[in-house]
Amino acid sequence: MTRSLNELRPVYVVGIGWHRYQNPSETPYVELGLTAIRAALADARIEWPAVESTYVATALLGMASGRPMLRHLGATGAPLMHVENASASGSTAFRHACIEVASGISDVALAIGVDKRNPVRRPDTGIGNLAEDAIVPFTHFALLTNEYAVRHNASTEDIARVAVKNHRNGAKNPNAQRQQERTLDEVLGGKKVSGSLTSLQCTPIGEGAAAVIVASEDGIRRLGIDAGRAIRTTASVGRSERVYPPGAGFDAALTKETADLALAQAKLTPKDLDIIELHDAFTVEELHYIESIGLCPEGHGVRMLKDGALDIGGQCAINPSGGLIAMGHPIGPTGIGQIGEIVMQLRGEAGPRQHGGARIGLAHMVGVGAVCYVHILQR
């Protein structure tokens, strides 16, 4: 018999921390990761030996990269797991830290994501490909942008407004890689990438780190953690791709399946959501995914965007962190940084980008279109 997270004991996020996402630099990844971990420990007001297990999310660093990083904090003998799941690496690490605590195996677990920009190495399967003319991601999403515009009578300028919104949010986020507001003319006039896509409509790949600490109620009491700042994780769902009908958008279809299960697990509807942090590596993705999550009918995303319903202070703030487009996408940390942003918002600690009265947030991440993770957090 299968069980979901909300059928196990409650699990809470009690500590969050970052090293700012930034352009590639000479900063060692160990320094990036330790900065985020120490910030999360300080936020939870606990010491390193209280952490009973650690999940390290990376995609570009190589084998067992967490070991030399954690040794700077002290060798405690606690379990250490490395997680690689493409863009969803951090989301996967967070899910398994939650499961470990919810199941009663540990009272306190750490999920840390850290990465630096390195060449992506694709595995050699040893089997010949059926086709050698695969389309690179930015051209795939440029074609989807055109297809969305035609199907829903929108303009490519309308879709580019996603980037204007997210750059505006990122300008208020000290952890974001891009911290500058951009006008629609600046977004449209940027460096051409593919089709109507310009560089300011695409996520930058840089470096950085994000960490969260999760704890059980027993752990919170035993360690004297401030329960008033603890944010409960009420749903955690991970899925992988299936074979979809011809013409179906597989990322969007996988997102719908995963989000529907997560909302059912938390006993919520899309209308209950105050905040969504989602995978907006390219502008059109944000529109596809808010529609797949059920925030509005298919094709209505542009209208909500233009009406300000997706702004901070609107009906549901989408990517108040700046999203992947402005916050950045260092890959390993990205899914964990989303959780940290939602926790900050639900605590009411997001400063100039605070979405007033936020009580429920959803985090969504896909990895190479093959996996999808959705988490829901509630105050």
Q: Which residues of 361-376 are buried (b: 16+ CB within 10 A; e: fewer)?
A: bbbbbbbeeebbbbbb
User: What letter represents residue 146's amino acid?
Assistant: N
Phi, psi (deg, nearest 5) at residue 85: -145, 45
Using CA atoms, how far apart are residues 122 and 224, in angstroms rounded to an integer? Answer: 45
Phi, psi (deg, nearest 5) at residue 57: -100, 120
Phi, psi (deg, nearest 5) at residue 304: -65, -40
Using CA atoms, how far apart are residues 159 and 155, in angstroms rounded to an integer? Answer: 7
Dihedral-angle region of residue 64 (phi above 0 means left; psi in -120 to 50 means alpha; beta otherwise): left
For residue 131, what pLDDT is reported? 67
Q: What is the pLDDT tens value at each position of the chain, 379 positions in all?
A: 789 998 999 999 999 999 999 999 999 999 999 999 999 999 999 999 999 999 999 999 999 999 999 999 999 999 999 999 999 999 999 999 999 999 999 999 999 999 998 877 777 778 877 666 667 888 989 999 999 999 999 999 999 999 999 999 999 999 999 999 999 999 999 899 999 999 999 999 899 999 999 999 999 999 999 999 999 999 999 999 998 887 778 889 999 999 999 999 999 999 999 999 999 999 999 999 999 999 999 999 999 999 999 999 999 999 999 999 999 999 999 999 999 999 999 999 999 999 999 999 999 999 988 999 999 999 9
For residue 257, what pLDDT is reported? 96
- Beta-sheet pairing, 207-216 with 231-240: unpaired
**Using only C-alpha atoms, what is the Rg of the chain?**
20
Using CA atoms, how far apart are residues 90 and 93, in angstroms rounded to an integer? Answer: 5
For residue 247, what pLDDT is reported? 74
Give the end-to-end CA distance of the chain in Å, rounded to a whole number. Answer: 29
